[in-house]
Amino acid sequence: MLGASPGEPAGADVREAEGPVAAEAAPEWIELLPAGVFHGRDGRGPYRLDDPAGVIAATLALRMEAGIPVDYDHATDFAAPNGRPAPAAGWIRELEVRDGALWGRVEWTERAARAILAREYRYISPVFQYSRADGRVIRLLRAGLTNNPNLYLTAISAAGDEEDRKMDQFDNFVGQLRRLLDTGPDASVEEILETVGDLLAARETARNAAGGDPARYVDVAEFKKALTELNALRAERAREKAEHAVNDAIRAGKLVPAQREWAVAYCAADPEAFLAFVARQPAMLSGEMLTAAPGSAHTRAPEAGLTLNAAESAICAQLGVSAGDFASRKQGRADFLKIRDNAQREL
């Protein structure tokens, strides 16, 4: 049943899903919206969840009797409008309030449960309606499994993972610093440090002039050291996620292996821009080539009876040139070079 926590208004009943729950080992309850006032990692907001019981009631009013859908990477919003599949990863069957935050009980599909347990997906990203006047959350519409969340929510697959916990704390800390220091949502850690250093230097000057107590002030060197260590951890985790995304793009034929290092650096620096870039790319390599046994580094051009390597096949796909035309021109150039070489030898 989709409803509120004990003491909150109850909602309408939702029919139980048919068949056994296949995701018993995956996290059953997940955090969907944080309590109080919150911002996105990209600076959007502020949003405010000041009436979570009202949000539950408004969500139940949609009468989604099968449950609130959870998809993969917001496919409902980005893939479905273009005619691409948007399968469900699970269905939110209950909602409740915990310490002012909104949590949901999810019945995962078997595929999603396996992906979560394998840590292929570790975060949740909600889609919600809000008031443009004051950012007040009105209702929850759906959610998506993702590895690039915008909100600071409890990770769905990070139990006992100290590094992920530290990274979430660091991201939240940096976001708060950007707002407090008014550096802008895109300020780097170095820019934040510079601003903090200027403020602390000004305070130190004022303290010396006024003869204040040094025990009340922060050690700038220790502050910078802590931020630097956490930033290094963040960069390491960002590269791991980038490598995973690039490997997926190569397997899908959107990139060639020779682009891997460039793509990893691009994705680590700007994940959203990289994913948008990959989404626009055609599938350059055929499924047969991608699944061929090791050592089959070439594909045959049926029109000319010649072979093209992976890079040449990718070029053909990008330029709209048939493999036969490319192979014919390649063979023609080879014949020309052979004739020229023989003529030089005769001279």
Burial class (CB in 10 A: 0-12, 13-18, 19+), 131: exposed
pLDDT at 317: 65
Residues 250-273: pLDDT tens digits?
888 888 888 889 999 999 888 888
Does residue 285 contact residue 310 with C-beta atoms inside 8 Å? yes
- Of all residues in the chain, what percent carry a pLDDT higher than 70? 65
Domain residue extents for the chain = 29-159, 172-280, 299-346
Structure tokens at 248: 């997926």
Instruction: Please provide the distance, in angstroms rounded to a whole number, between the alpha carbons at the two ends of the chain.
Output: 91
What is the CA angle 141-37-191, rounded to 5?
110
Furthest-apart CA atoms within the chain: distance in Å: 100
Pairing of strands 137-146, 298-301: unpaired
| Residue found by looking up tokens 């519409």 in the block | 141
Calculate the CA 28 to chain-centre distance: 21
Residues 124-166: pLDDT tens digits?
999 999 999 999 999 999 999 999 999 988 888 644 455 555 6
pLDDT at 194: 83
Following DSSP, what letter does each residue of 111-151 receive, concatenated? HHHHHHHTTS--EEEEEEEE-TTT-BEEEEEEEEEESS-SS
